[in-house]
Each structure stands twice: as structure tokens, then as C-alpha cells.
Structure 1
Amino acid sequence: MRIISLKEVMDLTSLARSTIYKYIALGTFPLPLSVGERCVRWLESEVHEWILDRIAERDEKVQVAGKH
């Protein structure tokens, strides 16, 4: 299990910091772990799972669109 920084999350997802925190507030992005008074990190596996979920959603939409 690996924990990653906000910069690494941004690099993996191509999302801006503000977008990541907006998605967290909406409940659609993995919550960060507090690892210090002013330091948060994410579980890499949860971020990867979030990415895989976006891919699955995209593929589902493509399949539905192809049935029309």
C-alpha cells in the first residue's frame, strides 16, 4: 500500500487542485488521509480505483450510445 501526495494525485488524474477538492466536497473523489497537522495524502489504490470507475462509466456510455 502506497500513499501519495496531492501533486502525485494531480499528475495521475490530470485534475487541478481545486477540482480535486471540489470532487471531495461532492463525495465523488477519495478522501485524503491526514498524516500530520497540515499534511494529507491519498491511498494510491483508491485514486486508481477512481480512475478505473471513470473509464467504466465512459465505456458504459459508449455501449448505450451504440445501441441506438
Structure 2
Amino acid sequence: MKRRVSSFQADRLLLTTAEVMDLLRVSRSTLYRGVRKGIYPQPLLMGHRAIRWRSHAIQDLVERGVK
């Protein structure tokens, strides 16, 4: 059973690069090219190899239809 997330919690969720690629339907190279061009938001560096993305920023892109 899926767990529902309130909008308050959703603003604080972090996504992996794979999840972002799936939501935006883009490849890794396209995602990072978009970051460099300012199309996509900057990821958060959580550690040496841990990169996460703010879910609300990605959801905004999906709602606007940005690819």
C-alpha cells in the first residue's frame, strides 16, 4: 500500500539522480547539461558520492512540462 505524503513533507523529500531522470524522462548527460545551462536546478551534495535533488523543485519542472 502506498503511503501518502502531505505537501509539508513533500517539500522536504530528496530524490536520487535516477529518480529525477525517470521523472523528467532524460538521460544523465542531458540532466547535467541542463544543470549547466540553468534549465534544471542544482543538485545537493550530501557527501562525497551522494547527490540528491529537492523534490519540490523537480515537481515544479514536471508540472511546467520542462524536459
Same fold (TM over 0.5): yes
TM-score under structure 1 normalisation?
0.74
Question: Structure 1: which 4+ aligned runs deviate by more than 3 Å?
Answer: none
Cα RMSD for the two superposed structures: 1.2
Aligned partners of 1:53, 1:13: CA distance in 2, in Å?
11
Gap runs ≥5 in structure 1: 56-68
Q: CA deviation at 1:39?
A: 1.4
Give the structure with the higher percent helix.
1
Q: Bigger relative contact order, structure 1 or 2, given CA contacts below 8 A and separation 6+?
A: 2
Rg: which structure is higher? 1
Identity among equivalent pairs (%): 31
| Equivalent position of 1:24 in the other structure | 35
Aligned partners of 2:46, 2:17: CA distance in 1, in Å?
13
TM-score under structure 2 normalisation?
0.75
Gap runs ≥5 in structure 2: 1-11
Give the structure with the higher percent strand.
1
Aligned with residue 2 of structure 1, among 3, 13, 17: 13
Aligned with residue 65 of structure 2, among 49, 54, 68: 54
